[in-house]
């Protein structure tokens, strides 16, 4: 007789004093009993940078350059996103994740796909499962939508409507609006990053036709928070992450050989560099290992916008950057589609994703060469 299928029903499992073994992490990866020291991340006045005022530009670019060369994390304030939009985003998360499991599963994420509802990674992995639920929505920039009729500019709204029906029309419309706000914020952040590293508006132009995703994260309480993780140690395989979180806290970053916490700020966004952007800068700006811990008293919510290139966009460093640094290429050319497929079909994203992906590409090239030789 087969054992019963594991189910992650947050309303039930958060009360259990014994958690399933699939959620228990190895000794070396469990969160320690002591609180993590706070990571001192720079607070960037993005509005000041975009004003063009020389002092503000110089200050912002210097702080971002230093942070991205060390760990890739910084906070953004004066960003122009309406606080009421942020408040409602969290309210609607409470609504969605407060529904019954069967209701949420109407948006169930299909195996091999990136969007939809996921109750932990049950069904995809069998160990080191994260203590969380997620809802992921697609977002295509208007320019990308213009190129492909199957990628509408109101993609988040249409996606929710297709899965959840007309009752969720306003829900989908709201998160579409949230994605538009993140898209506008990305423009300024990319300009800041390009100015900081010395390539001007190159990154902003590179991502004009981006195909990104929005992820709502819900971390329920856990009666054994010292045994599990809300999200395991990993580097984001995407380009740039723009995160807004509630006041509970739980984000930790691995810097200088130990874990550090990032204190939540309701009026700020946490921005971090991902693997794709690290490759785009030839390793100059770092994609840093981070994780999320949970607690036994209160749920935690966060909203992450993952900026990604257009699927078929070839990722490689600008020649201007290579010439100015006089350094060899660290990573081969690749498309975002190839890296995404690698993380969905061949490899579970972790702290070594980019290195593993580079080796995998190299092996693929060798196999192609061998195959070509055998047919000639």
Give the integer Cα–Cα distance in Å for 216 and 104. Answer: 13
Q: How many CB atoms lie within 10 A of CB 114?
A: 17
Task: Specify the pLDDT at position 142.
Answer: 77
Give residue-wise pLDDT tens across range 74-97. 999 999 999 999 999 999 999 999
Task: Specify the pLDDT at position 112.
Answer: 79
Short-list 209, 189, 54, CA closest to 146: 209
Tokens read off for 269: 């966004």
Cα dist from 39 to 183, 261, 263, whole Å? 27, 6, 8
Give the SS3 label for residue 365.
Answer: helix
Angle among Cα 93, 186, 315 to the nearest 5 degrees reads 110
Task: Specify the pLDDT at position 110.
Answer: 87
Cα dist from 224 to 99, 127, 166, 294, 299, whole Å? 24, 16, 39, 9, 14
Tokens read off for 163: 């899965």
Phi, psi for 154 (deg, rounded to 5): -100, 45
Judge whether 155 and 145 are in contact, CB under 8 Å: yes
Give every residue of the chain whose pLDDT is below 70, as ranges: 1-4, 143-152, 366-376
Which helix H or strand E contains 233, and what residues bound it?
strand 231-234
Judge whether 246 and 208 are in contact, CB under 8 Å: no
Task: Specify the pLDDT at position 7.
Answer: 85
Whose structure tokens read 């990674």?
121
Give the integer Cα–Cα distance in Å for 267 and 22. Answer: 36
Give residue-wise pLDDT tens across range 145-190. 555 566 667 999 999 999 999 999 999 999 999 999 999 999 999 9
Task: Specify the pLDDT at position 150.
Answer: 63
What secondary structure letter does DSSP report for 36?
Answer: P
Helices 155-164 & 169-197 angle (0-180, nearest 10): 150
Please state the separation of Cα 58 from the chain's center in Å.
28
Task: Specify the pLDDT at position 1.
Answer: 45
Q: How many CB atoms lie within 10 A of CB 186?
A: 22
Residues β-bridged to residue 231: 292
What secondary structure letter does DSSP report for 345?
Answer: I
Give the integer Cα–Cα distance in Å for 89 and 13. Answer: 25
Give the integer Cα–Cα distance in Å for 314 and 23. Answer: 37
Judge whether 241 and 307 are in contact, CB under 8 Å: yes
Judge whether 266 and 86 are in contact, CB under 8 Å: yes
Cβ-count burial 30-56 (b if 16+ within 10 Å, e if not): ebeeeebeebebbebbbebbbeeeeeb
Instruction: Indicate the Cα dihedral angle 144, 145, 146, 147, nearest 10°.
Output: 60
Residues β-bridged to residue 241: 272, 306
pTM, rounded to two decimals: 0.94
Distance in Å from the first CA to the final CA of the chain? 53
Task: Specify the pLDDT at position 373.
Answer: 42
Give the SS3 label for residue 214.
Answer: strand
Give me the catalytic one of 204, 209, 291, 300: 300
Identify whether 124 is a catalytic site residue.
no
């Amino acid at each position: 007789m087969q054992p019963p299928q594991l189910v992650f029903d947050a309303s039930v499992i958060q009360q259990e004093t014994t958690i399933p073994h699939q959620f228990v992490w190895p000794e070396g990866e469990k969160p320690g009993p002591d609180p993590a020291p706070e990571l001192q991340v720079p607070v960037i006045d993005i509005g000041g940078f975009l004003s063009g005022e020389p002092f503000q530009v110089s200050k912002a670019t210097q702080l971002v350059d230093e942070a991205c060369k060390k760990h890739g994390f910084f906070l953004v304030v004066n960003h122009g996103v309406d606080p009421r939009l942020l408040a409602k985003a969290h309210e609607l998360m409470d609504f969605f994740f407060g529904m019954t499991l069967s209701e949420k599963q109407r948006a169930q994420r299909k195996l091999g796909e990136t969007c939809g509802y996921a109750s932990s990674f049950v069904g995809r992995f069998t160990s080191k499962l994260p203590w969380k639920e997620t809802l992921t929505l697609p977002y295509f920039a208007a320019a990308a939508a213009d190129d492909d009729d199957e990628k509408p500019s109101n993609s988040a709204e249409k996606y929710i409507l297709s899965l959840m029906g007309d009752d969720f029309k306003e829900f989908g419309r709201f998160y579409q609006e949230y994605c538009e706000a993140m898209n506008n914020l990305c423009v300024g952040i990319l300009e800041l990053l390009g100015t900081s590293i010395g390539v001007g508006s190159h990154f902003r132009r590179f991502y004009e036709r981006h195909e990104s995703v929005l992820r709502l994260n819900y971390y329920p309480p856990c009666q054994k928070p010292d045994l599990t993780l809300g999200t395991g140690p990993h580097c984001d395989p995407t380009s740039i992450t723009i995160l807004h979180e509630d006041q509970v806290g739980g984000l930790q970053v691995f810097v200088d050989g130990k874990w550090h916490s990032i204190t939540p700020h309701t009026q700020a966004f946490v921005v971090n560099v991902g693997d794709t952007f690290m490759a785009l800068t030839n390793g100059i700006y770092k994609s840093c290992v981070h994780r999320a811990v949970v607690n036994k008293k209160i749920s935690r919510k966060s909203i992450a916008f993952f900026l990604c290139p257009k699927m078929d966009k070839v990722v490689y460093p600008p020649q201007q950057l290579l010439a100015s640094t006089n350094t060899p290429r660290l990573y081969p050319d690749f498309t975002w589609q190839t890296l995404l497929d690698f993380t969905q079909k061949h490899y579970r994203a972790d702290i070594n994703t980019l290195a593993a992906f580079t080796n995998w590409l190299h092996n693929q090239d060798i196999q192609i060469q061998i195959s070509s030789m055998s047919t000639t």
